[in-house]
Structure 1
């Protein structure tokens, strides 16, 4: 999740740092078919035998040394820009950075804590093939597992750094028949990363780690001045693309809240290539949250976009399977709210408006702009998928509720004949603990929330009360429909993930798979291979902190027993969200 700050400046002149200055179609091993409207895509068997990269040595199990690049600004600056750049650099180094040295950092933004151990960044790894596989990769499980995460290329200096602030890096594990497996990892070449790599230091403000108090305001103003005089080009995006992953209409998209998605292509060898920032053919103006939803019946993509500076603070939109965006619906919230996730049902969109909000005035008082608002009552909005505006939205209050992630939702009718909307999510307390230091222990409880739009009432039932359950999903073919199972990560001891679980949402029964002593994983991803909700496999990348090894584990969903392990050639840091792209979908990629 990314705290979103949008910088709006008028640029009179800017430098060009396009990662692909001569865009052209890249030939695929199999000629892509013309893009057509689709509803259901069934996987077919196709292997991805990557070629080994000669002479590659895996990166060490420790964090790489900070990138050392001369602190020079991009070429082609006019005399005024050069003078201004020197003056601003001097002000930053002699004033801001000196003040930052004296500031005591909290645990949530202290780089020594946030980037400790296996949270530390790694370098890129080109394709490594012929990986060791223990067990047998299941028949029908063919494609690439993609795991996104925050991985700062340039290490932070004196300022704060939150885990969510790092540059986006995608780890790709390609698997196929005959136990074929390969691995690679690459930075997503965002506008931010390209600028900072050219300059050789951090220049874009870190939304969570640095934008605190008066120093945060000064850093924000400094960045806006640099943008205004053409030292950096913020018009091409300020985001890090380090959170969500989705495959839609032939494209793998890497997402974070504060920017447009980035289109990333998986090559025929299993490598990763950033195509560029993706606006759905200039139809999307603004940002897109990290968790869009794809309707399994129609194939349409639904998502939200928010802005913390001006109204409307939230917007909702749909993109169909032909790539056409529907009308954008403005959601009129009273204040900008942290909306990292939402849900869909068969006919409606469920929009959370909860107690963690953006309040920039808190920076003037010396605090964080992301705060818990105890006087606010959380509510969920129920909006028709066909709505042209938000006049028909029905808000139902759910007191003392903050769901960072929502796993599914569906529609029912109760005994009185009232429509009921069932929402499955993980409710977190204290709500803002991942952003601000709080006393006590964090809880993330899997819960069932029932909304009655006719009476305006709601109930909340904790399904699993004594275990933190986070980052997971249901069978994506059941999104928006009643589902029996959810596959979730066991976030114990927080923030580490010690295993995965299959939860029966009706009975509360669980089947667990634990990784073992000093072995911790990440998000669980369910890949279906049959008709039933537990006919398939659950995947996650696991780190053995004793042996200092990383691996992809493949667990059979029906029994929650280990099926196969792919040994990875280098350390994979703990990360954020993931997806699985089938071999058939890989063939259909577009550029």
Structure 2
């Protein structure tokens, strides 16, 4: 595929912009390769046998957009293999169309985040595949919600190509947070802006474990807004809409894809999971707020939908302000694990304070559960937590942070039944990334297993993996040292070895 560089572009940059998101711990690493026999302090239990896959935005070239957000970088997949008490590491970029064409041109060609009108060349699929990575039907799927997935080999991390499920994929977009039925292996998915940028169309689809599409439902949302995550119960699908809205004319004028809309309600779409028609969707309304990641959802004994997720009163994506340029200071943001209870049969679409309760008061995000209990009543939830009282040395961290405000300095475990929270604090110069849960081999008890998380060490400017046993949550079972620094990532998942070899 030939690449033509317009002569009107600025000169090729020889270094990354002097902006916080490209400096300190966030300096792009651009590493591909592998490291065997990582150093381990403590002991990796012998019953752990699998791979932790995660993805980070890691731009291979300096952008020509000077204040490019950090999450507009190329998707770089890390694979941490744990077996027989040992750990190894492998990392490769997703060979997206963007990546390969920029490598050929030896410069950045992509413009603003999700704005094709600012690109140097025309892309067929302009995704960076940098938000999540899941394992499905023998392949890794590298995901970003603006395009179809890219398929990769789980062992070699070789990119196999754009994944359209043998031509079955009905929409132009695919969620970064597909859900999986633990009993059947079914993958439940959707795409928003499913007919292209600025369109209100939402496409919902279910995919059998063998990759066959089971049904497709096309919906029209009340506003063109972000639906980053969603939730699934046994009989329902829940679409929480973030009041960051898209306007096609703004895009054509070179503006941002997203703009905070304080006038827009927090919409919650509810759709039957199976056998639905477009007319079956109901868009409940709640006063303006910011829903973040989902923990889990299920139906209670009365048939109500119980949906647990992070909720903030303010615009968490503060770098996309409202039309007047207003946005909250990052240090004022506070997201809490919140429970929303919705009667899907209610005649009223208005949600009030009576529908909402806070499960955990701390400033938290990136919620994970024992996935064997997804879509069902559950008791245990794990998450990133910020508690300034724990003793973090903010003075040492902030100069190396790479912009923004220190996010999460600990891992939390909430027992929903007892309301007790356990906290793991990794150290005074550490910040945590999203955890993953690993079930203990042979156990069917919810929450019996391990928690694994990538941790930033700002004193050594390198990355570590911290492994916790859920039976002794407040201290590390093992700390696995990496001889390099991995940028802050977004999402990842644990895949048991038995799943990869099926």
- Shorter-chain TM-score tier: 0.7 to 0.9
Shift, 1:477, TM fit: 0.8
Tell me how many residue pairs correspond in the alignment.
466
The within-5 A match list for 1:249-398 is 249-267=137-155, 271-285=156-170, 286-307=172-193, 309=197, 311-363=199-251, 368-398=256-286
Deviating more after overlay: 544-553 vs 358-367: 358-367
Q: Alpha carbons of 1:314 and 1:164: their partners in 2 closer, same or farther (altered >3 Å)? A: same
- Residue 439 of structure 2 aligns with which residue? 528
- Residues 128-149 of structure 1 deviation map (CA, whole Å, 9 limit, x = unaligned): 1122211111132111111111
**How far apart, CA to CA, are the structure 1 residues paired with 2:136 and 2:252?**
41
Deviation at 1:367, TM superposition (A): 5.1
Shift of 1:492: 5.5
* One of 345, 353, 356 as aligned partner of 1:460: 356
Q: Evaluate the alpha carbon distance shift between residue 374 and residue 183 of structure 1 in structure 2; reply closer, same or farther with a 3 A threshold.
A: same
Say whether residues 1:472 and 2:367 are aligned partners. Answer: yes
* Aligned partner (choices 90, 105, 119) of residue 199 of structure 1: 105
2:455 to 542, 554, 560: 542
Q: 181, 185, 209: which one pairs with 2:87?
A: 181
Query: Which residue of the partner structure matches residue 51 of structure 1?
Result: none
Task: Show the counterpart of 2:382.
Answer: 487
Q: Distance in 2 between matches of 1:322 and 1:498?
A: 40
Counterpart Cα distance in 2 of 1:130 and 1:367: 47
Of the structure 1 ranges 455-464 and 482-491, higher mean CA displacement relative to structure 2 is found in 455-464
Q: Does 1:451 align with 2:342?
A: yes
Shift of 1:365: 7.7
The secondary structure found in structure 2 opposite 1:164 is helix
Whether 2:494 is the aligned partner of 1:580: answer yes
Q: Does the 8 Å contact 2:260/2:320 carry over to 1?
A: no
Q: What is the CA-CA distance between 1:310 and the residue it aligns to?
A: 5.7
> Which residue matches 1:160?
67
Once the two structures are TM-superposed, the CA of residue 567 in structure 1 deviates from its matched residue by 1.5
* CA deviations over 1:536-567 (Å, ceiling 9, x no partner): 00001112111233211100112213111111
TM-superposed CA distance for 1:249, in Å, is 1.4
Return the alpha-carbon distance in structure 2 between the equivalents of residues 448 and 129 of structure 1.
43
Distance 1:495 1:326 in 2: 43
2:310 maps to which of 415, 419, 426: 426
* Bigger-Rg structure (1/2): 1
Partner of 1:38: none
Residue 89 (structure 1) shift: 2.3
Aligned counterpart, 1:68: none
Q: 1:479 to 1:111 in 2, by over 3 A?
A: farther
Tell me, in whole angstroms, the C-alpha distance in 2 between the residues paired with 1:115 and 1:528: 36
Q: 1:402 to 1:506 in 2, by over 3 A?
A: farther
User: Counterpart of 2:337 in 1: which secondary structure?
Assistant: strand
- Cα deviations by residue, 1:148-174 (Å, 9 ceiling, x for unpaired): 110000012453310210000111111
Cα displacement (A) at 1:506? 3.7
Contact map agreement 1:346 1:480 (CA 8 A) in 2: yes
Give deviations 1:503-528, integer Å, cap 9, x for gaps: 12244320000111111120011111
- Give the direction of change, closer, same or farther, for the CA distance of 1:363–1:277 in structure 2 (3 Å limit): closer
Name the TM-score, length of structure 2 as normaliser.
0.87
2:7 counterpart residue number: 90
Aligned counterparts of 2:169 and 2:478: Cα–Cα separation in 1: 41
Q: How far apart, CA to CA, are the structure 1 residues paired with 2:275 and 2:371?
A: 24
Structure 1 residue 502 displacement after superposition: 0.4
Q: What's the offset of the Cα at 1:495?
A: 4.3
Q: Please say if residues 146 and 173 of structure 2, whose CA atoms lie closer than 8 Å, have aligned partners that are also in contact.
A: yes
Q: Name the CA distance, whole Å, in 1 between partners of 2:218 and 2:200.
A: 6
CA shift, 1:266, in A, is: 2.9
Q: Which runs of 5+ in 1 are unaligned?
A: 1-14, 16-72, 75-84, 99-108, 228-233
The question of 1:439 aligning with 2:328 is answered: yes
Following the alignment from structure 1 to structure 2, what is the Cα–Cα distance between the partners of residues 549 and 375? 43
Q: Determine helix, strand or coil for the equivalent of 1:90.
A: coil
CA RMSD of aligned residues (A): 2.4
Q: Give distance in 2, aligned partners of 1:124 and 1:364.
A: 35
Matched, 1:516 2:432: no
**Secondary structure of the structure 2 residue equivalent to 1:463:** strand
Aligned partners of 1:253 and 1:587: how far apart in 2?
Answer: 16
Q: Which residue of 1 aligns with 2:465?
A: 552
Return the alpha-carbon distance in structure 2 between the equivalents of residues 239 and 342 of structure 1.
Answer: 21
**Bigger strand fraction:** 2
CA separation in 2, counterparts of 1:341 and 1:111? 32
1:252-279 Cα shifts (integer Å, max 9, x gaps) = 1110011111112132xxx422222111
How many angstroms apart in 2 are the aligned matches of 1:290 and 1:541? 20
